[in-house]
Structure 1
Amino acid sequence: MHPADVEAVWRIESARIVAALTRFTGDFGLAEDAAQEAVAEALVSWPLDPPANPAGWLRATARRRAID
């Protein structure tokens, strides 16, 4: 996947991802940071192995980052 594809998914899904993480963590700042870390990881790993569900991948990765 090209970085522009990651950007397109992020543009469409970012508000939902951050909102869900904010509800999960109770902390908007933490939610934003975790979501941004997920995007950074996507930029590295998606060109090698693109996910079948990019939005779901971002949500799951961001949630794991928030837990860590």
Structure 2
Amino acid sequence: MIKSTDHGLNADFLKLFDYVYSKVNNEFKKSNLIDLQNHVILETNNGRYVINYSNILPEFKQLKR
């Protein structure tokens, strides 16, 4: 998989991915729940800027002070 120590390792990254993936527990529990919390990204004198996930898709909002 890895053939040298040069940049990029002269590696076959698909083989490397297959090797690593075969070593991990790849059973995922199925769930329809998406739990995204609103996230404050910046606070200024003019307000707070948040990423709002109330409607699943991210919405960037400014909340006035």
TM-score class, shorter: under 0.3
TM (normalized to structure 1)? 0.25
The structure whose RCO (Cα within 8 Å, separation 6+) is larger is 1
The structure with the larger Rg is 2
Specify which structure has the higher proportion of helix. 1
TM-score, normalising length: structure 2? 0.26
